[in-house]
Amino acid sequence: MVRGIVARIFPRLITALVVAGLATLAAIHLFFQAGEPPTPTIALMALQAGRTEGGPTELAESATPAPDPIIIQLTLDRSAPVLRYLEDAGLDPAEARNWANHFQEAANTGTMKEGHALVLYRDPETGDLRGLSYNLNTNIAIREHGLGAGVIRTSRDLIQYDIKRVGVAFQVDRSFRSAAQRNNLPEPVVYTLENTFSDRYHVDELPSGSVVKLIYQERVARDGSYQLVTGVEAAQIESDNRIMSAFAFRDEHGQPRLFDANGRELGQPQALRFPVKFNYISSGFTFHRYHPILHEYRPHLGVDLATKYGTPVQAIADGRVEYAGWCGELGRCVRLDHSQGMVSIYGHLSQITQGLARGESVSLGEVIGRVGSSGLSTGPHLHFAMEREGHYVNPLTQSIGVNHQVSPRMRTVFEQFKEHYLAMLSKLPDMGGHFHVGGARTSAAAQTAVVGQPGKRLASGQALRRRSRHHWHSWRTAF
């Protein structure tokens, strides 16, 4: 009896144990496979488990994009409060005041100025103002965007520019200036050329038939609002079988200059009138002055520029350090050799710029020390003197300044740049017009230099030109 019962239960027991063993193995497998993507079967089960009933799924309607705004571009013909411009544009007083308040917070001014660019964006269906953009200056644009319900988002954004290289070629008929104006040559470029060749030739005296070729750079705003001349890269004038050339190149101090084909700097020598900002001249140049400390009459071979202790002292022109240290009665002093027999002297300094040593090159405007009262001095001032061929001269009546030569160690690089520019100039046709001659960043970009006339800001009102006022002849070539 018992044997029969066991015979019936045993197969079932075995089956149950096998099933339990398989389930345990499956659980262990799933435990160690955690994090892996589910199998298609498990994924299908999960999908079905999450399925909802109750009718067809409702699909979200796609948003219809707003129609493009009407764009109104203006160049302001007068300076006026932004509120007045907005009211003139048709905004009601409350709305105009809201936009104007946000504008003033971002721009720190409530006035829009004559000559600046203003763009209005209006809804084509309702006429409502969607946004505006105003060029605060040549670098910053104020932008406002209406978000609805009187909410306005305002930002100060950098105006994005592309740098382009422009080639110009024309023939002189009556005069250089008249030909330049007829060919829409920007005024800063005209000034630069007049100054560049002034020490050798007056370009306004060029004979009829002379050919002028040049390459300059301009920054063009991506929104088309501005074109700013940044400087001259190369120029060539051919007249009466004579060729005058100018090539922009950065010297060993990183200063951009224009050099001729032989590596000599062009243009009038540059120099500072005074080496320091001063309040008054306490003593002038004389051979007979009563010394306040020695109490005797003796020569005073310089001028004393009274100013505050510690005021920076600058080199009046490029040169080399002849001496930097203690100079007896002059206390701490610096002597700069400017070649051609000219030496400038700076005395009674409180300190000399660290690293300034004999033979070191200095550049125009470089700080060489600080005003003090060292040596025989009754108070802080700079003793400024000049020598010509070893003899003291009155610094108030002398002019100083030297033209650079490309240094020997930079000569090979300069020659490469010169050949690069000559190749570009040779491809300009002998006719009037402006030509885009490729991007400003070429293989020579590491040393690319642009030069403008000293003392003139190229990014000025004269340099700013509107696209609508000029028609450009487009001619591209591969450089």
Q: Which residues of the chain have pLDDT under 50?
A: 1-2, 6, 30-60, 441-447, 453-479
pLDDT of residue 454: 40
The whole-angstrom separation of Cα 327 and Cα 331 is 5
String of b and e for 405-425 (b: at least 16 CB within 10 Å)?
ebeeebeeebeebbebbeebb
The whole-angstrom separation of Cα 479 and Cα 459 is 27
Q: What is the pLDDT of residues 169-209, one digit of tens each?
A: 998 888 888 888 888 888 888 888 888 887 667 787 888 88
pLDDT of residue 102: 94
Q: Select from 3.40.50.150, 3.40.50.300, 3.10.450.350, 3.40.50.920 the CATH code of 161-269+409-469.
A: 3.10.450.350
Token pair of 392 as six digits? 């003291």
pLDDT of residue 445: 34
| Domain spanning 280-393, CATH architecture | Distorted Sandwich (2.70)
Dihedral sign computed on CA atoms, order 468, 473, 475, 479: negative
In the chain, domain spans: 70-158, 161-269+409-469, 280-393
The predicted model scores a pTM of: 0.51
Q: What is the pLDDT of residues 296-352, one digit of tens each?
A: 667 788 899 999 999 999 999 888 899 999 998 889 999 999 877 889 999 999 999
Of 282, 284, 298, residue with least CA distance to 395:
284
Residue 364: C-alpha distances to residues 46, 264, 317, 327 (Å): 79, 17, 4, 23
pLDDT of residue 93: 92
pLDDT of residue 375: 86
The whole-angstrom separation of Cα 432 and Cα 414 is 29
Highest CATH level, class, for 70-158: alpha beta
C-alpha neighbours within 13 Å on the C-beta side of residue 396? 11
Q: Do domains 70-158 and 161-269+409-469 have the same CATH topology?
A: yes
